[in-house]
Amino acid sequence: MGTNTEIRQSERFETAFNRIHKALMKTVKHAKTDKFTDLVYKGKNHAFIRYYEKDLFQFAKLRNALVHEKIDQDYYIAEPHLDIIEKIERMAEEFEKPESALSVSTKPVDYFHEEDRLADVLAVIKKHSHTRFPIYNKNGEYAWLLTSAEIVKYLAEHFDDEKMNLNKVKVKELFNERLNHNIVFVSQDCGIFEVEDIFEEYQSKNKKIEGVIITKTGSQKETPNGILTSWDLLEVEISE
């Protein structure tokens, strides 16, 4: 019969696999079944799951082989390599404690008030190349989103206006009531999986979401600590 080391290694693999399976069931929304491979396939909208997709499917095959070759409750014929066990255990820890949305967001966030000068916004664009700016009203509440595209359009429309003084143009003059940028607020405790679900939900409804603004508690009355766009999610780097 196998040694205690072999039993421990096989059991370690199955335990880590079950931890990942449990995390997938918690993370992947609207899945038709709780089958491991179905959850991986359904959850590919999450960058983290997509990144580990091949490993997860390989682990599922290995797990099935181990279970089918199991002689009794405590004895396996097959033994996973130690490198595989250590890798799946690292992954289990990452799946159980995914990165926070704030940790991968753009920060600090450049935001302005409606009474601020357009010149100040342009100075920030020149320095940081940011393209989205949350705008707050006089009561300190989020009011609307100003984008670099709208700034360019405004400047183009007033290009021939010799009397225009950028130092006197207020941010509020660029507000366009016909535009309605979809913005969602979340708390700084929100996980990256939750934010990806928000983008997925809007996409399923054929709606575009300009960004997710992160504040301390998720209130629109709080200043932003971070902002996430769909591009940010595509650029999320996952380290092993």
Q: Which CATH architecture has domain 103-234?
A: Roll (3.10)
**pLDDT digits over 135-162, tens only?**
999 999 999 999 999 999 999 998 888 7
DSSP 43: G
Structure tokens at 90: 């690292």
Q: What is the mean pLDDT of residues 194-214?
A: 91
The residue length of the chain stands at 240
Distance of CA 179 to the CA centre of its chain: 25
* Most confidently modeled range among 40-49, 84-93, 196-205: 84-93
> Is the pLDDT confidence value at 47 over 90?
no
Site of tokens 């590919």: 44
Q: pLDDT band at 49, cuts 50/70/90?
A: very high
At 67, list the tokens: 């279970």
Domain boundaries, the chain: 4-98, 103-234
* Lookup result for tokens 């609307």: 144
Question: From its phi and psi, is residue 163 left (phi > 0), alpha (psi between -120 and 50) or beta?
Answer: alpha
The string of pLDDT tens digits covering residues 60-118 is 999 988 877 665 555 555 678 899 999 999 999 999 988 899 998 989 999 999 999 99
Q: Are 49 and 200 in contact (CB under 8 A)?
A: no
Q: Which residues contact 16 (CB under 8 A, 6 or more apart)?
A: 85, 88, 89, 91, 92
pLDDT score, position 240: 42
Residue partners of 114: CB distance under 8 A and separation at least 6? 135, 136, 137, 138, 143, 170, 171, 172, 175
